[in-house]
Amino acid sequence: MSTGRGAWRRYDHNLFPVFHERFEEKWGPGTAPFLDPSVYEADQPRPRAQWINVDTGAAVAVAPVWEDDPTARSFAVFYLPPHGGIWVLRPPGLGTYAEAIANGTPTSEHAVALRNDSFKKAVAHAEEFIYGSELD
């Protein structure tokens, strides 16, 4: 998948709305609250990372996701091919973490460390997807 480092740019501002649009186009309305751009910025789950390929318009994002319980989260890598669609790439070996902020309870240092470690692994997985492995 490597397209060279030069075309990809990190973009750490608001998630592009197209992630939400394409996800719900594929899996139905209401399936991606974690990508919803209509949620006020401070209420969006964190941390996140995002890249865009300035030559092709492709994009990659790392965002916390959940299914039934918004406090039980994991990270996923989302890839937007230039011509439509969306791929969801779950980094290997990542488990869920408890997001205590969502239920109003204090976050333990262990929970924060687990979330941060999961995020770092997800970002590394996204960067490997974008740039290829060091052996390429």
Task: Report whether the peptide linkage leading into residue 47 is cis, meaning its omega lies within 30 degrees of zero.
Answer: yes
> What tokens does 109 get?
């240092």
pLDDT band for position 5 (cuts 50, 70, 90): low
Cα distance between residue 1 and residue 129, in whole Å: 6
pLDDT of res. 135: 45
d(CA 95, CA 128): 19
**Bridge partners, residue 45, by sequence:** none
Distance CA 76, CA 89 (A): 6
Contact by Cβ (8 Å): 19, 33: no
- pLDDT digits over 80-101, tens only? 999 999 999 876 766 677 775 5
pLDDT value at residue 107: 61
Give the global pTM: 0.83
pLDDT exceeds cutoff 50 at 38: yes
Average of per-residue pLDDT across 39-60: 85
